[in-house]
Structure 1
Amino acid sequence: MGATAEQYLQQLDTGRRSDLPETTAGTLRLDVRDNGSTDHWYLTISDQQVQVARSADEADLVVGADRWVFDRMVNGQLHPGVALLRNELTVQGNMQLLMLLRRIFKGPSGARHPRELGRAAMAARASGRSAAGARGERS
């Protein structure tokens, strides 16, 4: 298994993240339940940056789940929307911020964004056509 949610959040890069929408701002509190206790992680999102703190302060969106659910989301093994539909996590507040978790948490190892895959496929087709065209002109 990869990193735990706690390990990931502790080392989360606070620099600019181009994968976050420029206009999105808000606060999320992650309530991570384990063995009868709850750890609180407070994420502040603004200007494509994420600041992480340990706090139980009120937030625009509060997401609660067992530790194993957050661990699976961090490792790209569980989409937040799927976890919500399975009642594996609870949310209260601005639901639009829920999908930011998918961008904040890394995907599975080796995963690539669909747009990146599409661009690579288009480039491969274009280079294949130009090579075939060049061969045809020489014949």
Structure 2
Amino acid sequence: MRDYLANGLAGRHTDLPETTAGTIRLDVTEDGWTDHWYLTIADQVVRVTRSADEAELVVQADREVFDELASGRARIAATLLRNDLTAQGRLPLLMSLRRLFPGPQDARHPRDVAREGGDRR
């Protein structure tokens, strides 16, 4: 998880809309401790720092949940609906955050499926 936050999230993300801008703080809890990761998003670029500063969106979950998100084994919306993850603040940023985490390993882009003629059963 730490490697993904420090290296995988930082940088340019062309799948983010160009108009997406804001700050997100990820509060990762484990064994009574909380790690704070601060994301700044602007112009399809994500900067990641370690900070507990106020943010437009604060997302809190156990380290296990963030590990599953970072590996593509879990989706943000599903963890939110199961109350495994909480979010406070500017919720549209939460939907932008989902674009920063990988999808399931066997996922395929809908355009690729269409080009291949779809799944004909």
Q: TM-score, normalised by structure 1?
A: 0.78
Q: What amino acid maps onto 1:44 in structure 2?
A: T
Cα distance per residue 1:29-54 (max 9 Å; x no partner): 00000000000000111100110000
Contact 2:75 2:103 in 1 (8 A): no
Shift of 1:111: 2.8
Q: Which has the higher contact order (CA 8 A, sep 6+)?
A: 2
- 16, 28, 34: which is aligned to 1:20? 16
Q: TM-score, normalised by structure 2?
A: 0.89
Cα distance per residue 1:6-30 (max 9 Å; x no partner): 1201112643221101111011100
Structure having the higher helix fraction is: 1
- 7, 12, 35: which is aligned to 1:39? 35
Unaligned runs of 5+ in 1: 123-139
Structure having the higher strand fraction is: 2
**How many residues in Structure 1 have an aligned counterpart in Structure 2?**
118
2:86 is aligned to 90
Return closer, same or farther for 1:101/1:68 CA change in 2, 3 Å cut-off: same
- 107, 114, 121: which is aligned to 1:118? 114
1:40-119 paired onto structure 2 within 5 Å: 40-119=36-115
Return closer, same or farther for 1:80/1:13 CA change in 2, 3 Å cut-off: closer
Q: What amino acid maps onto 1:16 in structure 2?
A: R
Distance 2:3 2:107 in 1: 20
Shift of 1:66: 0.3
Shift of 1:76: 1.3
Q: What amino acid maps onto 1:86 in structure 2?
A: R
